[in-house]
Amino acid sequence: MRAWLSRNLPLLIAISVLLMIAQLLRQVWPSASAFAAMRAFLHAWGWYFLALGLLLGALAWACRVHWQGKAPAWLYRVISMDILDRLTNKQQVEEAAARMDDEALVIDADSLAASLQAKVVGQNAVCQDLAQQVRRRMALLQRSKPIGVFLFAGPPGTGKTYLAKVLAAELSRKLLHFDMTQFAAGSHSATQLFGMTKGYVGSDSYGKLTGGLRDHPAAVVLLDEIEKAHPEVLKGFLTAWNDGFVTEASDGKHIPTTHAIFILTSNAATDALSQLQRDLASDPDGLRMASVSALREQGFAPEVLNRIDRLFVFAPLAGLDVARVCALEMEAMIRGYGLDVARGGVDPDIIVQLMQRYRRMGTAASSRDVVRALEESIADSLIKAKQLGYRTIELRMEDGKVKARAWAEPVAKPRP
């Protein structure tokens, strides 16, 4: 509006002056002394008309040099103007911004699911369902609650926390990660998240959650092991999930949560959920209903379960999924030491050995156990390879131990 007024102010003033003159003529024209009255009026108000004329001329000059791009810098300090009006075609930029906002609201669920499945092993059904849920909820134009409150349940080490991190990265959103085992100590835990009441020590700064959402309203909020949180902490989240805001205790302000995604993880009822996953894998709705009942029987807070939009049950790793996790963790570890692994450069016996070790651990096994086994198996060999100046390596099983060897690129045979 300000930009429109700055562009059209001279025209508006000219129209106002014409209307004033027309009103004057309407009042004095019928009189016999109309000419004398007009002359007296102009004589009394002449200086004002002169000043108005000078002002109109100055504004006309300012508009002309602005449109020609030749206006001096001091002019914009005198006349307030949107920088987009001053430097570019604001209308075109506004239209482009509107298009980008519309595109951001509608995501490609298939593409998102494919990206998630490429990084999170063994949870294809969860990734597909999650992508669809996010797409539908982000497309809503009017929202009084968070985009989604999702619970990831299942055995430890199956990718629950990792999937939340990958989702935040794929959506280009800030990740606010809270380990809820650190917020199990009563009301003090709540103040860490929601701020300290005014008048107490620490009330001059926002809580970790409220401050994070204030700075990043569209964040992905990850609440790891939500069942470990103190009931007072859970009460603060109920408002965030049900009413679309969370209250900062230090100043009483309402921090919106309507653009955030909340992801809760839980290891509760692991054995029961694993059995339900096997029995009801082909019945997603039945699996979710039975899982909610299992979590409630394990003491999971009913008020939390009632506000969850979607429950995703993660399947235990098995078969080639274990091998894929081993390969991914192995590649990450090698790169962590500043090395690259050659294509096809890992002896399959190494991965088979890790799979066997994982299986011996039984239902208590997790991807973390794979990492620990890898560290014990290959870390020393990688350190030695780094000391020897290797850059690209291959791993081979020799005498029951993993050895890192420098990779020599095959030399192309000369053509006859």
> Which helix or strand (DSSP H or E) is residue 396 part of?
strand 392-398
pLDDT of residue 384: 87
* Cα(183)–Cα(230) distance, integer angstroms: 6
Q: Which residues pair with 401 in a beta bridge?
A: 398
Average pLDDT over residues 337-361: 84
pLDDT of residue 137: 87
Q: Which residues pair with 245 in a beta bridge?
A: 256
Ranges of beta strands (E only) in 293-346 are: 310-313, 340-346
The amino acid at residue 211 is: G
Whether the full predicted model's pTM is greater than 0.75, yes or no, is no
Percent of the chain with pLDDT over 90: 18
Lowest mean pLDDT of 7-21, 76-90, 163-177, 301-315, name the range. Answer: 76-90
Report residue 83's pLDDT band, with 50, 70 and 90 as the boundaries: low
Express each pLDDT in 381-392 by its tens digit.
888 888 888 888
Residues comprising the chain, all counted: 416
Domains parsed from the chain with CATH numbers: 2-98 (no CATH), 106-313 (3.40.50.300), 320-406 (1.10.8)
Lowest mean pLDDT of 207-216, 232-241, 292-301, name the range. Answer: 292-301
CB atoms within 10 A of CB 46: 10
